[in-house]
Amino acid sequence: MASINLFLSTVSAEFRSYRDVLRRDLARPNVTAKVQEDFIVTGTETLDMLDDYIRQCDAVIHLVGDMTGAFAQVPSLAWTQSRYPDLA
């Protein structure tokens, strides 16, 4: 049975409860659904860990609402531009 990797993207302040229910509903032996809070600091930058996980995901599920998430800080912007120069 093939495994499926998902990333659930939401503004936690607005959709955390919905995201948690969705994560539970998607739970299967062959399905892994992760959220940003799963990527605790372990000596690797959170942005690196998120990018590495999302790149190998089968799908990203993003819930869009009225609130915004955190704004990217200058180091994160520089990291993104260096890793993905075609987006700069």
Per-residue pLDDT, averaged over 72-83, amounts to 85
Could you read off the pLDDT of 15-58 as tens digits, one per residue? Answer: 999 999 999 999 999 999 999 999 877 766 888 889 999 999 99
Domain tally for the chain? 1
pTM comes to 0.84
E-state strands within the chain: 4-9, 31-34, 59-62
Domain range for 82 is: 4-87
pLDDT tier, 6 (very low <50, low <70, confident <90, very high otherwise): very high
Per-residue pLDDT, averaged over 47-74, amounts to 91
